[in-house]
Chain A
Amino acid sequence: MSEIVRVENLVKYFPVQKSLLEQFFARKVDYVRAVDHVTFSIKRGEIFTLAGESGCGKTTTARVLIRLLQPTSGRIFFNDQDITQLKGERLRLLRRKMQMIFQDPYASLNPRMRIGDSIGHPLEIYGIARGGEKVKKVLEVLGKVGLTPPEQFINLYPLNLSGGQRQRVALARSIILEPEFMVADEPVSMIDVSLRTTIIELMLNFRKELGITYLFVTHDLAVAKYISDRIAIMYLGRIIELTDKKTLFNEPLHPYTQALLSAIPVPDPERRRKMIELKGEVPSAIHVPSGCRFHTRCPYAEKTCEEREPDLVPVTPDHLVACHLTRKK
């Protein structure tokens, strides 16, 4: 499988806002180290997941990757082309190939635009279709996302739709340009359980029918396990483990991954899991701990862990882990 997206040493720091007085006295600016040297690549046709707790940098990574945010440093490749500094018309044309769906279907649709206009808008922006031809395409994608009969939905406003239906509209809008690559940032976390599966199945269908590659961003590892091919676990701006989902769930190697997996509720009253206790809470992304950033909470931490930051290295060719102690074992 060829790769479609690659990021190398991606970094995104956000300066911390300070009052004028503080700026005057402060010797240096503090930064939130949201994404701190992240490297990975996504293969064509796969569903690659960035997972982790809130504040781990998964959403920022995704947004930098599709150039919604400018990286502090590092490089982004799309189809082997360096897109890190792409501007103007060329960036606009690139966006046609990369689409995104967001978490909140109540905020991602213009409440004053009819569903049909929202979905058809990208076609106008790129001068692909107008008038009758546009309507025809809109009806077609409405059918694809299961909003049937499409003639009925095209004139409705978002107000008339449920959360699940809105997310389908967002999905329809994102596929109408037939993109190669799509970022789905927590697309089901605000949707009722009974409707989630529909959205997930639609995404899986579009991969098969339209060949879309996905970057899926989620905090929900149960959903990640269901949908993904490979999963990268992030902690405080870094990827700490990256492998295919089967390996990740069967043989997690990083202590953080192990703890995270042990905390997921299992819908079975007779099966009580043993939770791995972690000390304290996630440290601030402004004052990141020295060495391995997980060492403050790691049950196995040793002296080296405080001193040296571990690199993300392969344990087997397809299983990457950033932990000093993994290699020892």
Chain B
Amino acid sequence: MLEVNSLTVDYLTRGGTIRAVDNVSFSLEKGETLGLAGESGSGKSTLGLSMIRLIPPPGRIVKGEIRIDEVNIVDLPESKMRVLRGRKVAYIFQDPMTSLNPVKKIGAHFVELIRTHEPDTKKEDALERTKKVLGLLGILPERMNDYPHQFSGGMRQRIMIGLGITLNPNLVIADEPTTALDVIVQAKILDLLENLRRVYGMALILISHDLSIILERCDRIIVLYAGNMVEYASSAELHKNPIHPYTQGLLRSIPNIELSDQRLSAIPGSPPNMLNPPKGCRFSPRCRHAEEKCSLMEPSLIDVGNNHFVKCFAADNEGAAVE
């Protein structure tokens, strides 16, 4: 359904070129959930935004291809891309307040969306469809006539998700959909996304800095560090057998309420300055296992079997290099 090959995205800033996404490849099947995990500046949102070609300037895709249902969208003219957005790929942003028009009723958001993409639809039919979607979201149909400010944060996020799925896209990208929400609402929203994914059979990309959510909700996980895909595996495999020192460090720094007497440990140092990233492996200055070659050569992505890929020399003994 989705295939990404050697995707590279640069931001051309006055201070120099920032390589936000560096040579990332992965694929996604229908009905699958993929998690993009990483800290701020790791490139997870940029990677997500490239799937609908909405990378904010001065960012641009400099290399690679993104195939959605066999169509490479990297070179697609903007007019064709517009048709694709919403119908094939939908993006759910983190902040539902700034993504909804404050002077427009909720129903009008849906009607506009439907009639933009399907101009022949009658207004009544569009409203009818809106009611159906609101029903799925657990929102009363009469609230169609309310404005965004009359809803709570959790409800607004539901509406955003509703707008995302109205046109029945094959791929939904949810970028930190619950970061601004409290845990109870967060759990409800994630359940909703999961149910909708099941009902519509769409593929879902969940972007989050919270590895707990990703581990809990996703089939496969990509761990990003400084624009690099450092590890890519199923969540079960990643949980049981994390190989990249960064993934291991991340897993050791998240508290788990089910464990008693857990000892957390931190990853030393700070994420790199992306204008001047470290040579060799970008994680090497913070890595406990770093050897001399780590700061000289960039490790390649290594297949360690079990559909598990690691960008680290330490994985060398366990598998063979790909690409």
- A residues sitting closer than 8 Å to B (CB atoms) are 53-54, 162-165, 192-198, 200-201, 219, 221-223, 225-226, 246, 249, 259-261, 263-272, 275, 278, 281
How many angstroms between the C-alpha atoms of A261 and B256 in the bound complex? 12
B184 touches A278 (CB 8 A): yes
Q: Which of B183, B216, B249 contacts A268 (CB 8 A)?
A: B216
Shortest C-beta distance, B60 to chain A (Å), equals 26
Residues of B within 8 A of A275 (CB): 187, 191
Q: Which of A197, A267, A271, A278 contacts B265 (CB 8 A)?
A: A197
Residues of A within 8 A of B210 (CB): 193, 265
A260 touches B183 (CB 8 A): yes
B256 touches A268 (CB 8 A): yes
Shortest C-beta distance, B208 to chain A (Å), equals 10
Q: Which of B250-286 contact A (CB under 8 A)?
A: 250-251, 253-258, 260, 262, 264-267, 270-271
Given A192-B39, A193-B39, A197-B266, A266-B250 contact (CB < 8 Å): no
How many angstroms between the C-alpha atoms of A222 and B211 in the bound complex? 13
B264 touches A200 (CB 8 A): yes
Residues of B within 8 A of A53 (CB): 182-184
Q: Which of B135-191 contact A (CB under 8 A)?
A: 152, 154-155, 182-187, 191
Closest partner residue, chain B, to A275 (CB atom): B187
A259 touches B216 (CB 8 A): no
How many angstroms between the C-alpha atoms of A223 and B257 in the bound complex? 9
Q: Which of B38-59 contact A (CB under 8 A)?
A: 39-40
B257 touches A264 (CB 8 A): yes
What is the total number of residues of chain B having a CB less than 8 Å from a CB of chain A?
39
Residues of A within 8 A of B257 (CB): 221-222, 225, 249, 261, 264, 266
A194 touches B253 (CB 8 A): yes
B250 touches A193 (CB 8 A): yes
How many angstroms between the C-alpha atoms of A194 and B39 in the bound complex? 8
B255 touches A222 (CB 8 A): yes
User: Which 9 A/B pairs are nearest by Cβ-Cβ distance?
Assistant: A197-B266, A53-B182, A194-B267, A265-B212, A192-B39, A269-B235, A263-B187, A222-B255, A267-B212
A268 touches B258 (CB 8 A): yes
Shortest C-beta distance, B278 to chain A (Å), equals 15
Q: Which of A226, A266, A267, A281 has the most CB of B within 10 A?
A: A267
- CB of B236 closer than 8 Å to a CB of A: yes
Shortest C-beta distance, A260 to chain B (Å), equals 6
Residues of A within 8 A of B105 (CB): none
Given A195-B267, A269-B239, A281-B152, A263-B253 contact (CB < 8 Å): no
- CB of B314 closer than 8 Å to a CB of A: no
A sample of 22 inter-chain contacts (CB < 8 A) reads A53-B184, A162-B271, A164-B270, A193-B253, A193-B254, A194-B39, A194-B249, A197-B264, A201-B264, A219-B183, A222-B212, A249-B257, A260-B184, A265-B187, A265-B210, A265-B215, A266-B216, A267-B251, A269-B236, A269-B239, A270-B236, A275-B191
B215 touches A268 (CB 8 A): yes
Shortest C-beta distance, B155 to chain A (Å), equals 8
How many angstroms between the C-alpha atoms of A197 and B262 in the bound complex? 12
A281 touches B255 (CB 8 A): no
Shortest C-beta distance, A197 to chain B (Å), equals 4
Residues of A within 8 A of B4 (CB): none
- CB of B192 closer than 8 Å to a CB of A: no
How many angstroms between the C-alpha atoms of A198 and B191 in the bound complex? 32
How many angstroms between the C-alpha atoms of A311 and B28 in the bound complex? 53
How many angstroms between the C-alpha atoms of A196 and B250 in the bound complex? 10
Q: Which of B210, B216, B260 has the most CB of A within 10 A?
A: B216
Over the window 122-137 of chain B, the binary record of Cβ atoms lying under 8 Å from chain A Cβ atoms (1 yes, 0 no) is 0000000000000000
Shortest C-beta distance, B83 to chain A (Å), equals 36
Residues of A within 8 A of B40 (CB): 163, 192
- CB of B88 closer than 8 Å to a CB of A: no
Residues of A within 8 A of B239 (CB): 267-270
Residues of B within 8 A of A194 (CB): 39, 249-250, 253, 266-267, 271
Residues of A within 8 A of B184 (CB): 53, 259-260, 263, 278
A267 touches B254 (CB 8 A): yes
- CB of B1 closer than 8 Å to a CB of A: no
Residues of B within 8 A of A278 (CB): 184
How many angstroms between the C-alpha atoms of A264 and B254 in the bound complex? 13
B256 touches A196 (CB 8 A): no
Shortest C-beta distance, B264 to chain A (Å), equals 5
- CB of B209 closer than 8 Å to a CB of A: yes
Residues of B within 8 A of A269 (CB): 215-216, 235-236, 239
